[in-house]
Structure formats: C-alpha cells, structure tokens
C-alpha cells in the first residue's frame, strides 16, 4: 500500500491560528504534515498566506468555502485559490434549510453542478464534504447519494469524512467503493462508539486499516486529519493523529 501525503484541516487548530497564524503553520510543518486544508485565512492577505505556506514547505490540499460564498462571489474564490496554488474548493456544510428533503438535496446537486462547471473552466475542482446528517434517507436513498447521483463525477468530487460516515452507522470501507476516481480527499478523524464522541486518529473505533487500503484503491490523493473539538491542546491533538496515521500507512 503506497503512502499518501497527510494534511491538517486548520479548523482543528483554530484556537492557535487565531492567536498566531504564522507560528501555527510553522508548528504544523514541524509535526510533519505535508500540507494544510484551509478554513479561512484569518487577517492574512492571500499573498502573505502563500508566502507562509511556501516558507514552511506546506501545500494546500484544499480549501473549505461555504456555498453562500461561492454563490456570492465565485470570481473572488477562483482568484484566491489559484493564487494559493490550490486545486480543490470544498463545500463543507449545508444549513438545515438546504437539506430539508430529497427535493432539496436534488436542488443542491444542481447548484453544485453549476458551481463546479464554473470552477472547472478555471482549472479548479469542486468537492463536497459530508457530515453524518447526509445519511438520512429520502425514498430509500441517502441524502449524500442524492448529491453524487445527480452530479457529474468529473465536475463534483467527494471529500468523504470517513468518521462521520462511521458515526452515522454506515461502513466507511464499503461506502468508499462508490467513489473510485471521485474522492481525491479523505477526512480522517476517529470516533469512540461507546462515548459517541470524536477522538484522535488511532484512539477510537474507526476501521482505519480498511479505510487506508480503500483510499489507495480508489485513487485518493490526500489524507486530511481533523478534530472538530479537541479536549486536549489542539496542536497536541494534531500531533497524536498525525503520528498514529503515519504509523499505520
């Protein structure tokens, strides 16, 4: 099994970036991460962020951008991400009003298709990141499947959050088989089933070995470590997850 590069979703260390973005990137690089996934850039200009990333030899694996922001000013999103050397723009979340029923998911699919086509003409790729709520069924089909079954696989890619799949009661290893060539990015965090709680990678019940094997099989390009709400210092959490994930590849 080939080793995939590991990035950190900076939302994990948002408390640290809020205090010292530059210093946090340096520490992220020192841990050993090859890249980061962005969730905003604080007060930094695009140029300043690019310089910091280059100085620390960190690639941008992707950038989380709300669907509202994409609808409001997609030209700005395109310009910023091209300047950062980023290829993947990821819609990270849907508000409840956008996922009320199956029809709403199909409406979102159509919108993602439009946005994805626009990004594609500029050399960028749109992806969608799931939580657990997309595994509610509508007429027997998961909301998440309604998105991907109603979009072009070349236009709308998947950033599968394997932990949220698992937390929803779905086998993430089997589910990933739907996404050959369509899931360039995977989120890797862990879940303690007994506590119904997130935890650092390698310290919970996520079937990590199977996920890593599937990632290679389906053509994943980046493994992205994340923890939504660490209960220990966030950089320490990131380090534990990185080291455990690296050791299992």
Residue 191 falls inside a structural domain:
yes
- The CA distance from 167 to 118, in Å, is 33
In this structure, are residues 62 and 90 in contact, taking their beta carbons and an 8 Å threshold?
A: yes
Judge whether 215 lies within some domain.
yes
Question: Is residue 34 domain-resident?
Answer: yes
Contact between 36 and 222 (Cβ < 8 Å): no
> For position 210, what pLDDT does the model report?
98
1 lies in a domain? no
CA-CA-CA-CA torsion for 62, 67, 73, 74, nearest 10 degrees?
50
pTM greater than the 0.95 cutoff: yes
Within-domain flag for 157:
yes
Q: pLDDT digit of tens for each residue in the chain (249 aa)?
A: 569 999 999 999 999 999 999 999 999 999 999 999 999 999 999 999 999 999 999 999 999 999 999 999 999 999 999 999 999 999 999 999 999 999 999 999 999 999 999 999 999 999 999 999 999 999 999 999 999 999 999 999 999 999 999 999 999 999 999 999 999 999 999 999 999 999 999 999 999 999 999 999 999 999 999 999 999 999 999 999 999 999 999
Q: Which tokens is 72 given?
A: 């409001």
Rounded to 10°, the helix 46-55/74-83 angle is 30
Q: Is 124 helix (H, G, I), strand (E, B) or coil?
A: coil
Residue 167 lies in a domain: yes
Tell me whether residue 88 is in a domain.
yes
Residue 153 lies inside a defined structural domain of this protein = yes
- The residue range of the domain holding 121 is 6-248
Q: Give the number of domains in the chain.
A: 1
Cβ(241)–Cβ(199) below 8 Å: no
Those residues whose C-beta lies under 8 Å from the C-beta of residue 10, and which sit 6 or more positions away, are 17, 24, 28, 36, 37, 38, 39
As a whole number of angstroms, the distance between CA 199 and CA 190 comes to: 5
Query: Domain containing 22 — which CATH number?
Result: 3.20.20.150
């Amino acid at each position: 099994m080939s080793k995939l590069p590991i990035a950190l979703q900076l939302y994990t260390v948002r408390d640290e970036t809020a205090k010292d973005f530059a210093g946090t990137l340096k520490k992220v690089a020192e841990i050993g991460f090859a890249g980061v996934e962005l969730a905003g850039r604080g007060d930094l200009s695009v140029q300043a962020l690019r310089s910091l990333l280059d100085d620390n030899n960190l690639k941008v694996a992707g950038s989380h951008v709300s669907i509202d922001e994409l609808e409001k000013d997609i030209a700005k999103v395109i310009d910023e991400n091209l300047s950062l050397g980023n290829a993947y723009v990821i819609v990270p979340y849907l508000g409840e009003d956008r996922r009320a029923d199956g029809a709403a998911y199909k409406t979102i699919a159509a919108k993602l298709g439009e946005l994805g086509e626009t990004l594609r003409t500029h050399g960028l790729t749109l992806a969608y990141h799931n939580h657990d709520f997309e595994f509610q069924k509508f007429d027997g089909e998961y909301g998440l499947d309604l998105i991907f079954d109603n979009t072009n696989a070349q236009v709308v890619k998947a950033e599968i959050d394997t932990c949220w799949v698992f937390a929803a009661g779905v086998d993430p290893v089997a589910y990933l088989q739907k996404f050959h060539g369509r899931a360039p990015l995977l989120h890797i965090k862990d879940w303690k089933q007994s506590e119904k709680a997130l935890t650092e990678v390698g310290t919970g019940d996520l079937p990590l070995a199977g996920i890593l094997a599937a990632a290679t099989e389906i053509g994943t390009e980046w493994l992205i470590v994340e923890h939504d709400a660490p209960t220990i210092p966030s950089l320490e959490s990131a380090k534990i997850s990185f080291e455990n994930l690296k050791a299992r590849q």
